[in-house]
Structure 1
């Protein structure tokens, strides 16, 4: 038996990268069902084939409350309950500094990054709250190395990821004792995380120069390897499990290759 036997999870941004890896790991750990919300659900086909009848795909935008209602409704309707919400959808700013913006582009990009990376998490939490209260479930949100340190993104990405820490802490206080709320903070990871439409970078992703990215990430962290989505999944399993993390809430667990112990 796995750690999540019989659990039902809802995951935003679950069609690729870390979200897809978490969905696959949850199912391998015995989850009865996983409902996934993403703008492009084509990446879920292989997962659905591997776990027939246990995967539901919802096409939608995390800035749209109706998409979250459809996600949670699908999980409960198809699998009878909800035990875990994983907020994971995000976009990147490719380390764009404040000085490179004009007022108009700053406002548009701010709205997009904070709308997806933070407001999307809040809307997911709002939609899942009642269902998770019934099961004593948990919420897990994907932060970043940029949730703790400068340099993991540009001014907007870093600000949004820092804000997620405050969101997690406040929400954990508000939802205790019925729901635990935590986060996982991956470091630079080999994914296809995309840029913003506001900057015309919606078709640009971290995977565009994979070999160069892998070399740079491997050299940048004390553990000397570029992280892959699967490297973070154990924390998502641990934090979802009632039996194995019953007293953990309001925390952000870093999975960044040791960035915090780099020498000065």
Structure 2
């Protein structure tokens, strides 16, 4: 698809954690739909891969979402490179690998909370604060990556589930505070095999969800639609919410696209 064509033609977007997994899939799809993308990412190797794939359609900013300074630098890079900002996608996150509260020591619980909430909640809030003015100037939108854990138990452990429920509150309050010039919404996907890591404070920094999540037929058992979804299967709702034409009336919404909240009908007897 040519750069000037597509559902997001001419839009400038900023994606945090856009170097791999769902974030990378969002960047790839947004660029394919005609957008330009700025990516805030900690890994220089992942930023190099993005530049190799998309050339001057993407700008990379190396930084940490828990830093207000780094979030501000990413917004400034987007405005400088592409003339403004139309959508902010808060996506960088950590998973707790389903750790129950009573399975953690007090120190693991305390330190894991600080690190995981720092990325999953503070990172979203700082990114929103940094992007708000630039988005208001273009009547843009914010889109946050939540999870089925924002709506149901068992999408993670106590820390992850609590952080994603906090994300629902962020969406509701920011939609109220930033109306009418900025729309604020979220996408709640289900499990997928990606490079999503855990907190280093819980000795999970080098473990990815791909190492633990069941794959293929086993993963299908968690889906009411008999699917083992990939990151690419979840990106269309982000395009919908970024498009002014397709979601002009939508704010304060959390789109549950996980297909895990609906009980699956048992397979018919042979």
Task: Give yes or no for TM over 0.5.
Answer: yes
CA deviations 1:207-240 (Å, max 9, x no partner) are 2256x43443211111111111111111000000
Unaligned runs of 5+ in 1: none
1:65 aligns with 2:92: no
Q: Distance in 1 between the 2:221 and 2:20 partners?
A: 25
Residue of structure 2 aligned with 1:19, choices 1, 23, 27: 23
1:2 aligns with 2:3: no
Partner residue of 1:262?
A: 263
Q: Distance in 2 between the 1:29 and 1:79 partners?
A: 16
Residue of structure 1 aligned with 2:147, choices 141, 144, 148: 144
1:122 aligns with 2:125: yes
- Any residues of structure 2 matched to 1:1-264 within 5 Å, and which? 1-31=5-35, 33-208=36-211, 212-256=214-258, 258-262=259-263
Cα distance change of structure 1 residues 119 and 214 upon mapping to structure 2, 3 Å threshold: farther
Cα distance change of structure 1 residues 263 and 55 upon mapping to structure 2, 3 Å threshold: closer
- Aligned residue pairs, count: 261
Tell me if the contact between 2:225 and 2:264 (Cα under 8 Å) persists in the aligned partners: no
Q: Distance in 1 between the 2:157 and 2:60 partners?
A: 31
Unaligned runs of 5+ in 2: 266-270
Tell me if the contact between 1:13 and 1:89 (Cα under 8 Å) persists in the aligned partners: yes
Tell me if the contact between 1:190 and 1:214 (Cα under 8 Å) persists in the aligned partners: no
TM-score, normalised with respect to structure 1: 0.95
Moved more, 170-179 or 101-110: 101-110
CA deviations 1:20-62 (Å, max 9, x no partner) are 100010100001x211011114224343233221111111111
Task: Give runs of ≥4 in structure 1 deviating > 4 Å.
Answer: none
TM-score, normalised with respect to structure 2: 0.93
CA deviations 1:161-215 (Å, max 9, x no partner) are 11111110111010000000000001011211111100111000012256x4344
Q: Distance in 2 between the 1:167 and 1:84 partners?
A: 16
